[in-house]
Amino acid sequence: MTLNAFQADIADPGAVDLAQRLISARLDVRGAGGVIIETEAYGLDDPASHSFKGMTPRNASMFGPAGHAYVYRSYGIHLCLIVVARRGEAVLLRAILPDPGVESMTARRNSPQLCNGPGRLAEALGIRLENDGVTLDGTGLSIVLSGDMPDLLVGPRIGISKPTERPWRFGLAGETGPSRAFPPYAKSL
């Protein structure tokens, strides 16, 4: 099995570890993209994770090779783009700083809010359901880690109704672009 550059960089990543490393990484989708500033980790033994109850037709990509995309439809309306980590673990991309490709993103979005929120981000970048399962390096979708160790914000995940809450939401410190502000008690790593 051959690994592409991204897969080699993240070798056997846990979701929490990968979620942190993806902050400040660069995402590109067919020429549009930006710096990732907000992520969330989802684990295997995690009631909030789609993988919690095992593999189903929808979440099969979460059990595939690390470094691939998991795309699913949310609330019957939006799409979300997720980076697969270790088997059954994954990282939801919640916000990027839109550049380059602002013009094409603006055309796809009917709002000045381009990429702050998982559904908005997916729409702005033109993510499609058929992108589910594709590798994140070389098929139109790519991620390149920055190599930096940026200051991270940490807080509870968003939109989770499960009782078990974990501080698995990460943000780039100093950015005003996240989908929602980090709570005052959010701490840096």
Partner DNA sequence: CCAACGATTCGCT
Partner DNA sequence: GCGAATCGTTGGC
Contact set with DNA (CB under 7 A)? 40, 42, 48-51, 53, 56-59, 62, 70, 72-78, 80, 82, 90, 92, 109-111, 113, 117-121, 158-161, 179
CB of 101 to DNA, least distance (A): 18
Q: How far is the CB of 71 from DNA (least distance, A)?
A: 11
CB of 19 or CB of 152, closer to DNA? 19
In the bound complex, what is the minimum distance in angstroms from residue 188's beta carbon to DNA?
22
Spatial separation of the C-alpha atoms in residues 21 and 171, rounded to whole Å: 11
Q: Minimum distance between the CB of residue 140 and DNA, rounded to whole angstroms?
A: 21
What SS3 string covers the chain?
Answer: CCCCHHHHHCCCCCHHHHHHHHCCCEEEECCEEEEEEEEEEECCCCCCCCCCCCCCCCCHHHHCCCCEEEEEEECCCEEEEEEECCCCCEEEEEEEEECCCHHHHHHHCCCCCCCECHHHHHHHCCCCHHHCCCECECCCEEEECCCCCCCEEEECCCCCCCCCCCCCEEEECCCCCCCCCCCCCCEEC
* 56 versus 188: smaller Cβ distance to DNA: 56
53 vs 103, which CB is nearer to DNA?
53
From the CB of 111, what's the least distance to DNA, in Å? 4
CB 143 to DNA: min, Å: 16
Instruction: Please identify, using beta-carbon distances, which residue of 6 and 70 lies nearer to DNA.
Output: 70
| Cβ-count burial 116-140 (b if 16+ within 10 Å, e if not) | bbbbbbbbbbbbeeebbbbbbbeee
Q: Which is nearer to DNA, 117 or 150 (CB)?
A: 117
Q: Name the residue nearer to DNA (CB basis): 15 or 141.
A: 15
